[in-house]
Structure 1
């Protein structure tokens, strides 16, 4: 009887132990399952979606519990798509934001990134573009240069040395020479500006509206008036484009202007920046190093003009999902500090880095190295078009300049209407 009691007790103990082990295993398995995190990353630059997806896969390989879902919406529809995400209660964890007006729209959702490791190495000239209420809520995506992209081969055929163009008078002479020798050098027109695209119109306008703010993007964002200090220079350049551009100017779109007109040497210049580098080298390896140069707009015209350099896009982290904040921070830190990410960003995205810790000697072309030198110098000047009020580019500036291009509005009318719309939108959006 005693033996039987001990056998039953032993069996009961073993069964209990097995149950405990199974329970623990189940709990551990559930805990491991619960520790898996999916970060939602909202990207507004469609041209680098594939590279962001590659970075996400690379990070997941090292951090199996973290999945990164890239959602892309751009080409003018990004802002509306992002608003829809927040309105539906599906706020992303990481968001790409264009300019302080957009950052201001989501400021109550954004966490302070000042203590992030990635933030310590931001190029100082780019910091102000990610500031809201004295908090650093955005990290610049890259360093961009704004100016005239010129085709070296076309210039060479015309016997023009771009290094000797140092003021507006010399630029004008080069334009007139290119125009007079169109047939000889085989171009359709001097310029291939994409007048159909209001965003490109806005980036050109920044050449004339940025200098008054002396690189202070917060001041530009708070300004209630459109700056006309360099109005004469602005009109001169727009008139040059009207006269010497591929026609009809309003039918010229962005992709054809870069991939056909410029790449194939049908035009000598387009007012674009280094964001066209991946496209050009994608069409022909080594094209950029061999054939792409940049000239500044001569606005002050006193020998100090240089390419505008800044960042159009900033990455922020939302506080809508507290349990995912640390993972989002870790991913951002990895993107901005690791050698693996550096390799993709420099060699595949072809970004000029917005941070100081990447090895810029690895940049694949001389133009990118030049842009980095200019953008990190103490005299760097940032473009302010991303600080215009929300809607101003598409509702006012772009359409009015398009009308000016086809003689549908006078410069005086353009100035009056543009100024009024700027003031109206700024007052509405500032709540004053």
Structure 2
């Protein structure tokens, strides 16, 4: 009996040893070989938790596929982190592109996505920022729209009918009416334009530059010169804003403008986009449902009103990965925007405006985002033109001159002249 027990024990130990040895020597590699791993590089930090959960849900219904999500941002230099990954050989399978400049930069690594279902169901115009030579290299992450966001309740209290604003003249009249009632309404000023933020100025400029290039992103990206064809309208809006804005306008930052003044009924109008909806919801969910609205800008003529909307980010797929990884990457992206449960996360939790026609505007949770979706569907938008400006133009060249004008230090003609010179120099 003792001898039998010893033999049995030795057998068990030997078996365990073999098993552990197999694992240690790559015995688990058969399983690894059967697993297709998709590495997703995400730079939208506000979507990290939802994207991590969606990756798990995808894995549950797709045996043999592993989705690894790496999220970089929130103070980190996402572009540098992505470059580091490529330089080290640890290239992601899926990563985000910011427009045509990124398509050109990463062109040797991008798969042609023209034949994907998502490319075929993308809302018209939303693929333009990732299309080159007729081929689609990026799929829209979402839609973001911006323009003059308003507090409809303050307009109503001032006796201004928002639906009746159909022209620049109507808008100017509304602004003056709001200003005349600001003390009764407890407002600091009509506008809360945060001119301290270069990106706000950059986005604002897109309304007036895009029409010059027929609202075509490729034309903007290729343009050797800019004439500021709609510079007069640019000036009209800028002067109106500066006159009726919280002062000093150059000191007004995003946080004060949106989280303090706009959210607390201290100003009636800010130049922002639907990305402020989650912030407003965290402060007062009723604000976005009952008060928030958006007005177009009238640029090409005094009655042709448009907002700016489009895809700020695109999902690119690394074509240099194994074929199985490339196909799994495409399938994961398609699942994100076609699976019923995933679609609900996209609209309800990520609070995205979807860029695909299989979504309904009814699925969008807040009224202003629905407005933006409808503007885009109706073709009443200009694209994200500023993303196609020459590198550094917005922040280091145009923005400082724009600030000088707001401060009364230079003339509007000087702003435009210096802008033209800088653009031409950058695009030589």
TM over 0.5: yes
Evaluate the alpha carbon distance shift between residue 425 and residue 318 of structure 1 in structure 2; reply closer, same or farther with a 3 A threshold: farther
Q: How many residues align?
A: 410
Evaluate the alpha carbon distance shift between residue 286 and residue 61 of structure 1 in structure 2; reply closer, same or farther with a 3 A threshold: farther
Deviations 1:167-195 (A, max 9, x none): 11111111122222221101111111111
| Contact 1:40 1:71 (8 Å CA) reproduced | no
Q: How does 1:112-261 map to 2 (within 5 A)?
A: 112-261=112-261
Question: Equivalents in 1 of 2:412, 2:87: separation in Å?
Answer: 40
Deviations 1:75-119 (A, max 9, x none): 794334433433444332222121212222212221111122222
Question: Equivalents in 1 of 2:175, 2:302: separation in Å?
Answer: 20
SS in 2 for 1:189: coil
Q: CA deviation at 1:287?
A: 2.4
Correspondence for 2:290: 290
Correspondence for 2:341: 340
Evaluate the alpha carbon distance shift between residue 52 and residue 256 of structure 1 in structure 2; reply closer, same or farther with a 3 A threshold: farther
Deviations 1:364-416 (A, max 9, x none): 23332232222122454323111112222222122221222222333222212
Question: Equivalents in 1 of 2:87, 2:411: separation in Å?
Answer: 41
Correspondence for 1:425: 426
Q: How does 1:23-422 map to 2 (within 5 A)?
A: 29-63=28-62, 65-73=65-73, 77-322=77-322, 324-378=325-379, 380-422=381-423
TM-score (norm 2): 0.88
SS in 2 for 1:55: helix
Q: Which runs of 5+ in 1 are unaligned?
A: 1-17, 428-432
Correspondence for 2:5: none
Q: CA deviation at 1:165?
A: 1.1
Q: CA RMSD in A?
A: 2.7
Moved more, 367-376 or 222-231: 367-376
SS in 2 for 1:67: strand
| Regions of 4+ moved over 6 Å | 25-28
| Contact 1:154 1:185 (8 Å CA) reproduced | yes
| Contact 1:148 1:270 (8 Å CA) reproduced | yes
SS in 1 for 2:159: coil
| Contact 1:49 1:72 (8 Å CA) reproduced | no
Q: CA deviation at 1:68?
A: 2.0
Evaluate the alpha carbon distance shift between residue 28 and residue 196 of structure 1 in structure 2; reply closer, same or farther with a 3 A threshold: same
SS in 1 for 2:272: coil
Q: Which runs of 5+ in 2 are unaligned?
A: 1-14
Q: CA deviation at 1:35?
A: 3.6
Question: Equivalents in 1 of 2:198, 2:75: separation in Å?
Answer: 11
Evaluate the alpha carbon distance shift between residue 77 and residue 125 of structure 1 in structure 2; reply closer, same or farther with a 3 A threshold: same
| Contact 1:101 1:389 (8 Å CA) reproduced | no
SS in 2 for 1:210: helix
Question: Equivalents in 2 of 1:198, 1:41: separation in Å?
Answer: 30
TM-score (norm 1): 0.87
| Contact 1:198 1:394 (8 Å CA) reproduced | yes
Evaluate the alpha carbon distance shift between residue 83 and residue 398 of structure 1 in structure 2; reply closer, same or farther with a 3 A threshold: farther
Question: Equivalents in 2 of 1:218, 1:84: separation in Å?
Answer: 28
